[in-house]
Amino acid sequence: MKAGDFILTHGTAFYSRAIEREQRRRYPKNPELTHWTHAALVVSDDGGLLQALGNGIVTGHVSDYSDYRTFSVDAVASTKSDRDRVLRFAWSQAGLKYDWVDIASIEMALVTRIKVTFETEGHYICSGFVARCLERTDAIFPRTAQHMMPADLAAYFGGCPSCGK
């Protein structure tokens, strides 16, 4: 694991279970993707993280998730300059707020199947934060970054627990 990678984790708290349930709306025929309920960007080779939690974009460490199943993704396999761009952008977002409005937007889109997006600029959910960072590479996601969920990152990068990946 190196800076510029990201991790997916599986939590069991109330919000994690809610995320897993809602992701099943998007992936009804691929439930193994919905296992992942949180995403965090690796910002140092020793496992330092930046992640969007309820209190905003904050630091952490992969060891914070030692009691959870995790999947590490080498998302920036191309060049050092790609990794540098990802990390510069990530650090420029540190301290910004969590995007509760985006949660409502995703829920509305999942329930109604209407492709409408609304967000609070400069606010993130965990997977949206990781996706926005990775947009600094050649990653082209199937939906806007603010509507990317952990299952979407897993689908895009091939991270499925039952597949052994």
CA distances, 112 to each of 47, 76, 106 (Å): 39, 34, 10
- Shortest CA distance to 123 belongs to which of 150, 152, 146? 146
Of the pLDDT bands very low, low, confident and very high (cuts 50, 70, 90), residue 141 is confident
Written in H, E and C, the secondary structure of 90-116 is HHHHCCCEECHHHHHHHHHHHHHCCCC
Tell me the two tokens of residue 29.
């025929």
Which range has the worst mean pLDDT, 39-43, 74-78, 108-112, 150-154?
108-112
Number of separate helices (H) and strands (E) present in the chain: 5, 7
Q: Is the pLDDT of residue 58 over 70?
A: yes
Mean pLDDT of 46-64: 91
Of the pLDDT bands very low, low, confident and very high (cuts 50, 70, 90), residue 63 is very high
pLDDT per residue as tens digits for the range 76-130:
666 788 888 999 999 998 987 666 555 555 565 666 666 666 566 666 778 889 9
- Helix (H) / strand (E) containing 51: strand 48-53
Mean pLDDT of 27-50: 89
Q: Is the pLDDT of residue 46 over 90?
A: yes
Q: Where do the domains of the chain lie?
A: 6-163
pLDDT per residue as tens digits for the range 117-130:
656 666 677 888 99
Residue, of 98 and 29, whose pLDDT is higher: 29
Q: Is 75 left (phi over 0), alpha (psi -120 to 50) or beta?
A: alpha
Q: Which CATH class is domain 6-163?
A: alpha beta
pLDDT at residue 91, rounded to an integer = 95
